[in-house]
Chain A
Amino acid sequence: MSDATYLTLEKLTLAYGKTAAVENLDLSIHRGELLALLGPSGCGKTTTMRSIAGLMPVRSGKIVLDGRDITRVSANKREIGLVFQSYALFPHLTVFENVAFGLRLQGMSGAALTEKVEAGLKTVGLSDFAARKTPDLSGGQQQRVALARSLVMQPKVLMLDEPLSNLDARLRLEMRTELQRVQKESGVTMIFVTHDQVEALALADRIVVMRNGAIEQIGTPEEIYNQPASSFVADFVGFENITAVKDGMLVGPAGEVKASGPLPQAAGLAWRPRSIPLGSGPYKGTVRGVSYAGSSREYVLETPLGPVKAEVDAALPAYALGTELAFDLPPEAAAPLQKMD
């Protein structure tokens, strides 16, 4: 993977009517990387993707691809591919003709066309389906056709809108490896949009977490998972216990407690349920909920900070509802947060 910047968004502002969907967004994407735009619905990720494709006009700012300013270039001349969430296949055409659609527009025909389309179908494992009509295919097959249709155009950037959300659990796993394989084989720069952090973590080289039309954090999956920069990202990647830090106090949603020891320099701290030891520690809470999850038990404690979630090895003896318990919030096991809501 080269570190050279390939696609750059500079001070990008996008708006529907008067309401801004994305404001002053700066982002650099490297050649050949697999980037995820992650965020809840309405965060601006899809709008950003559509503006890169040229389907959404840019209010202000610049989009530069491979050294060329494409901000005002029309969508059909950008050399950017997009696999739609609905796949957007052409129902009146066969699988072959769907894949051949863009190539024909380039004036390709005859043996060269057939060769390219067949190669594209082979890449996605659909060689035997060329003559089928697309509505007869399963969701997974339709997505492969959409992928092949974009790939044969050899786009500079290939984007995918929620590529796994319409598939069932088994297919999702299969498609995940498939997408990674295709990306490595073709070396295409790939951007995909998702609201599912599991997908982003599993697939991407780099993740951009977006919120309210701005970037919240950029990092590798490991960085996002282990070192969330803000309470928003922490919450998004499964830190269920989040407190603010103020003058040596931990501040929870229900109230505050004095920290039992020195705290790191941070605006807040976040713990996953696994990082909370039960049975000993300086803090007290009452068990309000227990659920058994095979290898572990999950507890919800009522504490002066508010509810605290802890996950404990199931081999340990269980605590009954209503039990008063000691627990710890060890600072060394916490992720320090730079920004709190």
Chain B
Amino acid sequence: MTQKLYTWSILSLVLIFLIGPFFIIVAASFSAGDTLAFPPQGFSVKWILKVFTVESFQQSFVTSMILAIGGTLTALILGIPAAYAMSRYKLPGAEIVRFMVSMPIIVPGIIVGLALLRYFVIPLGISISLALFIAHTALVLPYAVRVVSASLNNLRSDMEEAAVLLGSSRAGAFFRVVLPNIRGGILAAFILGFVTSFNQVPVSLFLSGPGVRTLPIDMLGYMEIVFDPSIAALSSLLAFLSIGIVFAAERFLGFSRYV
């Protein structure tokens, strides 16, 4: 009995601390008042509706979506072959390759952003958008390699040999046998990469210019100027979007197996 009491009181407190603030911003976004406050002054959906009318949000949302989807896809296109080489071949310098592709997870994002700005954007005239794209791809690459590697290592390599002995080329074996069996892992890597990229702030801090900024950076800027509940509304919307994606992925894929 005391055990049960302990368990539930601890867990309630921890969950209130972890998730409570989230409910507060959800509640605050339905406020009818003009400033951010809790408990909310009355009920309205005007702040939720306002989010959709702010032009910079629309722009930066599109930017963030393109970066998250495009960057993650690029990272997968680079990462899947690398993961395949590391799991199936005797790769010369495998440790170096592993180190290289896992670097972006170790080096703080703000430094990556600054380095790209200072040595790529300014001297080479590379556009901010391209630099953002490169930075987000690099950031997601370690996740892509890691999750795809895990799912390749769970797949027996004799299946590919069997396909080859049945007349398939090596590449054919990859597309006919390997790819269909690591689809779940690739999708998991995509979702993980998407969420990571979409929520990423430090990498994009220095990489913003006129008309080019990610949504979280735009939100940070907006917060400094305006103190109304629209940021709370936007935060709630984004949170529900993330939770919805992850929940669906778990439902249909068993997402947590791959992460």
Chain A positions near chain B (C-beta within 8 angstroms): 53-55, 75-78, 80-82, 84, 86, 88-92, 101-102, 105-106, 146, 149-150, 153
Q: By the criterion CB–CB under 8 Å, are B165 and A105 in contact?
A: no
Cα distance A21–B169 in the bound complex, in angstroms? 27
Q: Which residues of B contact A53 (CB under 8 A)?
A: 161, 165
Q: By the criterion CB–CB under 8 Å, are A80 and B165 in contact?
A: yes
Cα distance A150–B165 in the bound complex, in angstroms? 9
B158's partner among A76, A80, A86, A101 (CB-CB below 8 A) is A86
Q: Which residues of A contact B159 (CB under 8 A)?
A: 88-90
Q: By the criterion CB–CB under 8 Å, are A76 and B168 in contact?
A: yes
Identify the interface centre among A53, A84, A150, A153: most chain B CB within 10 Å of its CB. Answer: A84
Q: By the criterion CB–CB under 8 Å, are A105 and B158 in contact?
A: no
Cα distance A54–B165 in the bound complex, in angstroms? 8
User: How distant is A294 from chain B, measured CB to nearest CB, in Å?
Assistant: 41
Known contacts A84-B161, A86-B156, A105-B172; A92/B166 CB under 8 A:
no
Q: By the criterion CB–CB under 8 Å, are B158 and A88 in contact?
A: yes
Cα distance A298–B39 in the bound complex, in angstroms? 88
New A-B contacts (7) at CB < 8 Å, excluding given A88-B158, A90-B159, A90-B162: A54-B164, A76-B165, A76-B167, A90-B181, A91-B181, A105-B168, A150-B165
Q: By the criterion CB–CB under 8 Å, are B158 and A84 in contact?
A: yes
Q: By the criterion CB–CB under 8 Å, are A90 and B163 in contact?
A: yes
Q: Which residues of B contact A150 (CB under 8 A)?
A: 165-166
Q: Which residues of A contact B166 (CB under 8 A)?
A: 76, 101-102, 105, 149-150, 153
Q: Which residues of A contact B165 (CB under 8 A)?
A: 53-55, 75-76, 78, 80-82, 150
| B177 beta carbon closer than 8 Å to chain A | yes
Cα distance A90–B159 in the bound complex, in angstroms? 7
Instruction: State how many residues of chain B have any CB contact under 8 Å with chain A.
Output: 17
User: How distant is B217 from chain A, measured CB to nearest CB, in Å?
Assistant: 42
Q: By the criterion CB–CB under 8 Å, are B158 and A106 in contact?
A: no
Q: Which of B143-176 contact A (CB under 8 A)?
A: 156, 158-159, 161-169, 172, 176
User: How distant is A314 from chain B, measured CB to nearest CB, in Å?
Assistant: 47
User: How distant is B147 from chain A, measured CB to nearest CB, in Å?
Assistant: 19
| B125 beta carbon closer than 8 Å to chain A | no
Cα distance A150–B167 in the bound complex, in angstroms? 11
Q: By the criterion CB–CB under 8 Å, are A153 and B158 in contact?
A: no
| B180 beta carbon closer than 8 Å to chain A | yes
Q: Please name the residue on chain A nearest to B160 by beta carbon.
A: A88
Cα distance A105–B162 in the bound complex, in angstroms? 13
User: How distant is B201 from chain A, measured CB to nearest CB, in Å?
Assistant: 39
Q: By the criterion CB–CB under 8 Å, are B180 and A92 in contact?
A: yes
Q: By the criterion CB–CB under 8 Å, are B177 and A75 in contact?
A: no
Cα distance A292–B180 in the bound complex, in angstroms? 56
A76's partner among B169, B177, B181 (CB-CB below 8 A) is B169
User: How distant is B204 from chain A, measured CB to nearest CB, in Å?
Assistant: 38
Cα distance A53–B167 in the bound complex, in angstroms? 12
Q: Which residues of B contact A89 (CB under 8 A)?
A: 159, 162
Identify the interface centre among B159, B163, B166, B177: most chain A CB within 10 Å of its CB. Answer: B166
Q: By the criterion CB–CB under 8 Å, are A101 and B163 in contact?
A: yes
Cα distance A273–B181 in the bound complex, in angstroms? 53
User: Can you list 17 A-B contacts with CB-CB less than 8 angstroms, sorted by A residue number?
Assistant: A54-B165, A76-B167, A80-B165, A82-B162, A86-B156, A89-B162, A90-B159, A90-B180, A90-B181, A92-B180, A92-B181, A101-B163, A101-B176, A102-B166, A102-B168, A105-B166, A150-B165
Q: Which residues of B contact A88 (CB under 8 A)?
A: 156, 158-159, 161-162
Q: By the criterion CB–CB under 8 Å, are A102 and B156 in contact?
A: no
Nearest 7 A/B pairs, CB to CB: A102-B166, A88-B162, A88-B158, A92-B180, A105-B167, A84-B158, A75-B164
Q: By the criterion CB–CB under 8 Å, are A55 and B181 in contact?
A: no
User: How distant is B214 from chain A, measured CB to nearest CB, in Å?
Assistant: 37
Q: By the criterion CB–CB under 8 Å, are A84 and B164 in contact?
A: no
Q: Please name the residue on chain A nearest to B165 by beta carbon.
A: A82
User: How distant is A101 from chain B, measured CB to nearest CB, in Å?
Assistant: 5
Q: Please name the residue on chain A nearest to B157 by beta carbon.
A: A88
Cα distance A86–B161 in the bound complex, in angstroms? 12
Cα distance A209–B176 in the bound complex, in angstroms? 38
Q: Please name the residue on chain B nearest to A79 by beta carbon.
A: B167
Q: Which residues of B contact A80 (CB under 8 A)?
A: 165
Q: Which of B177-198 contact A (CB under 8 A)?
A: 177, 180-181
Q: Please name the residue on chain B nearest to A105 by beta carbon.
A: B167
Cα distance A238–B80 in the bound complex, in angstroms? 51
Q: By the criterion CB–CB under 8 Å, are B164 and A76 in contact?
A: yes
Known contacts A84-B161, A86-B158, A105-B172; A153/B167 CB under 8 A:
yes
Identify the interface centre among B165, B168, B172: most chain A CB within 10 Å of its CB. Answer: B165
A55's partner among B161, B176, B180 (CB-CB below 8 A) is B161
Cα distance A102–B176 in the bound complex, in angstroms? 11
User: How distant is B163 from chain A, measured CB to nearest CB, in Å?
Assistant: 7
B167's partner among A82, A84, A106, A146 (CB-CB below 8 A) is A106
Q: By the criterion CB–CB under 8 Å, are A75 and B181 in contact?
A: no
Q: Please name the residue on chain A nearest to B172 by beta carbon.
A: A105
Q: Which residues of B contact A55 (CB under 8 A)?
A: 161, 164-165
Known contacts A84-B162, A88-B162; A102/B177 CB under 8 A:
no
Q: Please name the residue on chain B nearest to A85 by beta carbon.
A: B158
Q: By the criterion CB–CB under 8 Å, are B177 and A90 in contact?
A: yes
Q: Please name the residue on chain A nearest to B183 by beta carbon.
A: A92
